[in-house]
């Protein structure tokens, strides 16, 4: 029975609809924000936190802030969802434009 549940869970995961969008990582200690874009908002936080915990995040300022203030002082915030764009090229262009907009609006750093 356990194998059947696992197969059903894997099938459901593969069939879920990925929602692209814009997210922010905010340091509670400094109120500094970093804004990024992702093709799937539901999976990006785990990847980001893993990379930051490993000390290998490519954006040095964010990694330094993480190292200084610790994981408990950071929150992941979903800023905007782009749910209805099936074409990857158009979606990527929209994400790029929205990233620039939110960085300017929030005075945040792009990642």
Q: What is the pLDDT of residues 65-111, one digit of tens each?
A: 999 999 999 999 999 998 776 667 788 888 999 999 999 999 999 99
Q: What is the reported pLDDT for 83?
A: 74
The pLDDT mean for the chain works out to 89
Evaluate if residue 51 carries a pLDDT over 90. Answer: yes
Is 2 inside any structural domain? no
**Structural domain span for residue 51:** 17-110
- Please count the structural domains in the chain: 1
In a domain, 1, yes or no: no
CATH of the domain at 22: 3.40.1440.10
Please check the confidence at residue 13 and state whether its pLDDT lies above 90. Answer: no
Question: What average pLDDT score do residues 41-64 get?
Answer: 96
What is the Cα–Cα distance from 74 to 25, expressed in whole angstroms? Answer: 7
SS3 assignment, position 90? helix
Q: Which residues pair with 81 in a beta bridge?
A: 21
Q: What percent helix, strand, coil does the chain show, rounded to 5?
A: 55, 25, 25
Residues 6+ apart with CB under 8 A from 66: 52, 57, 74
Q: Is residue 89 part of a domain?
A: yes
Tokens 């300022």, located at residue:
61
């Amino acid at each position: 029975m356990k194998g059947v549940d696992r197969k059903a869970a894997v099938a459901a995961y593969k069939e879920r609809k990925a929602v692209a969008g814009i997210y922010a990582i905010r340091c509670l200690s400094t109120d500094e924000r970093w804004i990024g874009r992702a093709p799937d908002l539901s999976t990006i936080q785990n990847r980001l936190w893993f990379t930051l915990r490993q000390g290998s995040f490519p954006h040095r300022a964010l990694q330094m802030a993480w190292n200084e203030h610790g994981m408990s002082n950071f929150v992941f915030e979903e800023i905007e969802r782009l749910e209805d764009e099936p074409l990857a090229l158009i979606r990527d262009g929209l994400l790029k434009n929205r990233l620039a907009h939110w960085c300017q609006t929030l005075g945040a750093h792009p990642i």
